[in-house]
């Protein structure tokens, strides 16, 4: 398995794109609100200074789906930023916002799911699936109607080959 990871690193330029999912504890419906959406966007704008770019995301009532790129060539290397560290920070920022809104904790399941994207087709397929989540859940009739999504940075998949 280690060989496979080394091979993937060779295929990507400096910033691979990760697809990540984090669930609320006991799947509590606490995430789909405008305040959290705005806080996530502000967090993303500050993260770029450290080499972390939040692309498209969807806040569902009980989970978050997001695409993020971590650039190992930026200050992130000195800050030792990893996808795990980024997710910990996201959960912390959103948890503070929930506390400030009077929502009792704890908020998150331990850990998260992550997947490194291998191609632009994979990115497009995953995004089509993610943006349709609110439709499949019966929350809206069209994905464009869901107000708790966004794209602070437009991420683009690139390979050296």
| pLDDT at site 160 | 53
92 occurs within a structural domain: yes
Buried b (16+ CB within 10 A) or exposed e, 44-81: beebeebbbbbbbbbbbbbbbbbbbbbbeebebeeeeb
Mean pLDDT of 3-32: 72
For residue 7, pLDDT over 60 is answered with: no
Residues contacting residue 138 through CB under 8 Å, at least 6 positions apart = none
The total domain count for the chain is 1
CATH of the domain at 92: 3.30.70.1290
Whether the ω angle into residue 106 lies within 30 degrees of 0, i.e. cis, is: yes
161 occurs within a structural domain: no
135 occurs within a structural domain: yes
pLDDT digits over 36-94, tens only? 999 999 999 988 787 899 999 999 999 999 999 987 665 544 456 889 999 999 999 99
Distance CA 37, CA 94 (A): 9
pLDDT digits over 101-133, tens only? 999 999 999 999 999 888 777 788 888 999 999
117 occurs within a structural domain: yes
77 occurs within a structural domain: yes
pLDDT digits over 55-64, tens only? 999 999 999 9
109 occurs within a structural domain: yes
75 occurs within a structural domain: yes
Domain ranges, residue 116: 2-150
Distance CA 130, CA 59 (A): 10
SS3 of the chain: helix, strand, coil, percent, to 5: 45, 20, 35
158 occurs within a structural domain: no
């Amino acid at each position: 398995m280690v060989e496979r990871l080394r091979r993937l690193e060779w295929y990507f330029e400096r910033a691979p794109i990760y697809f990540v999912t984090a669930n609320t504890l006991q799947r509590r419906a606490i995430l789909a609100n405008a305040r959290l959406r705005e806080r996530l966007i502000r967090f993303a704008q500050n993260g770029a200074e450290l080499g972390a770019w939040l692309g498209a995301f969807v806040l569902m009532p009980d989970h978050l789906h997001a695409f993020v790129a971590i650039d190992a060539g930026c200050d992130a290397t000195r800050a030792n930023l990893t996808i795990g560290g980024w997710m910990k920070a996201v959960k912390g920022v959103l948890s503070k916002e929930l506390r400030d809104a009077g929502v009792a904790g704890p908020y998150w399941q331990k850990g998260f799911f992550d997947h490194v994207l291998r191609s632009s087709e994979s990115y497009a397929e995953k995004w089509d699936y993610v943006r349709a989540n609110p439709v499949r859940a019966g929350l809206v009739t069209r994905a464009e109607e869901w107000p708790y999504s966004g794209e602070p940075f437009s991420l683009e998949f690139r390979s050296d080959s």
